[in-house]
């Protein structure tokens, strides 16, 4: 299964992966509209920085995902190796947020939770990967 991998030695900390992710998952056709008018857009990938190192954190689509096991409504499921959220079933208990060991499931305004789904709905390469100017984020088998 293909997954997103981040090479922290190549990450510039530019946050473009976050912007591209937010835009890809916003439903907007114009990137500027994604961030205008006080709209809160939560990316499904987050750049962490510290001690001179930058790296992007997103869902690792674990083989034994604790978020799926802990979901009390079955809103989280694994399909073809990708952990997906059925927002209509999520009740916002945030158990998945608490159990994810990587901090990859986050609370989101408008929707109870948000997490990376590898841009399966748009097909092809995830937006964070295609938008990384330094190719620090790769989408490859692993």
Separation between Cα atoms, residue 77 and residue 86, nearest integer Å: 8
pLDDT (0 to 100) of residue 132: 96
Pairing of β 106-107 and β 113-114: antiparallel
pLDDT (0 to 100) of residue 101: 96
pLDDT (0 to 100) of residue 38: 67
pLDDT (0 to 100) of residue 114: 92
51-75: burial string, b at 16+ Cβ within 10 Å, e else: eeebbbebbbbbeebbbbeebeeeb
Separation between Cα atoms, residue 82 and residue 79, nearest integer Å: 5
Quote the pTM value: 0.87
Separation between Cα atoms, residue 52 and residue 94, nearest integer Å: 31
pLDDT, tens digit only, all 142 positions of the chain: 899 999 999 999 999 999 999 999 888 888 888 888 667 778 999 999 999 888 889 999 999 999 999 999 999 999 999 999 999 999 999 999 999 999 999 998 778 999 999 999 888 899 999 999 999 999 999 8
């Amino acid at each position: 299964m293909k997954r997103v991998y981040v090479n922290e030695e190549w990450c510039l900390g530019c946050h473009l992966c976050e912007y591209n992710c937010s835009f890809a998952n916003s439903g907007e056709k114009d990137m500027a509209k994604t961030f205008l008018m006080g709209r809160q857009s939560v990316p499904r990938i987050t750049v962490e920085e510290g001690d001179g190192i930058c790296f992007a954190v997103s869902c690792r689509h674990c083989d034994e995902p604790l978020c799926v096991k802990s979901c009390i409504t079955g809103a989280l499921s694994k399909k073809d190796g990708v952990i997906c959220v059925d927002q209509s079933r999520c009740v916002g208990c945030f158990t998945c947020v608490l159990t994810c060991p990587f901090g990859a499931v986050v609370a989101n305004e408008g929707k109870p939770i948000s997490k990376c789904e590898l841009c399966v709905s748009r097909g092809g390469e995830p937006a964070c990967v295609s938008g990384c100017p330094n190719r620090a984020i790769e989408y490859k088998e692993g």
